[in-house]
């Protein structure tokens, strides 16, 4: 893993390669080329950014996270196996505590911390497709095999086998 909070797009399964060693060689070369491209100033290379501890981001097998932002300050983020995330999505666990419309640190500095450390987890099930530009605000649970339309804002739980869209996102169809 890189020493910065940028992670390379997790590589999809190497099951398509007949030779596992060849697949690992391709993955290693892709990593080096991507790092060199980012260093040279090419921002259109697929990468994701983690705001907070990397250990709070849990990616399943064969996930893809195209240019996503993962804010893990106030909770963990779990992406299930075979989940695909479109370009420029945001997963936001972070929040600020307010009293009377002011941040808690401005109104009463001796009160509880301004940003909670836990309790706002985002859990995405297996086999999901999250369209480009989706924002998911924790705490929220998204079931297995869910499709979320591009540009949606998810603020509430979505059950298994659903199609959700809108701001805020609502279930449009449920395939049970």
* Catalytic residue positions, numbered: 76
Spatial distance between the Cα atoms of 124 and 102, rounded to a whole number of angstroms: 32
**77-79 sheet: strands from edge to edge:** 57-59, 77-79, 122-124, 140-142
Task: Yes or no: say if 64 and 10 are a contact pair by the CB < 8 Å rule.
Answer: yes
Phi-psi region of 132 (alpha: psi -120 to 50; beta: other; left: phi over 0): beta
Among 89, 151, 18, 43, which residue's Cα sits nearest to residue 169? 151
């Amino acid at each position: 893993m890189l020493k910065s909070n940028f992670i390379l797009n997790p590589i999809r399964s190497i099951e398509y390669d007949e030779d596992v060693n060849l697949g690992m060689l391709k993955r290693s070369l892709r990593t080096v080329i991507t790092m060199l491209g980012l260093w040279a100033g090419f921002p259109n290379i697929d990468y994701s950014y983690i705001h907070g501890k990397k250990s709070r981001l849990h990616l399943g097998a064969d996930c893809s996270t195209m240019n996503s932002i993962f804010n893990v300050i106030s909770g963990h983020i779990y992406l299930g196996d075979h989940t695909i995330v479109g370009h420029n999505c945001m997963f936001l666990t972070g929040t600020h505590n307010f009293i009377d419309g002011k941040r808690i640190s401005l109104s009463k500095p001796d009160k509880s911390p301004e940003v909670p450390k836990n309790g706002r987890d985002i859990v995405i099930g297996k086999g999901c497709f999250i369209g480009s530009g989706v924002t998911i605000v924790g705490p929220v649970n998204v079931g297995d095999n869910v499709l979320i339309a591009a540009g949606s804002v998810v603020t509430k739980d979505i059950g298994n086998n659903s199609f959700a869209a809108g701001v805020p996102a609502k279930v449009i169809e449920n395939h049970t």
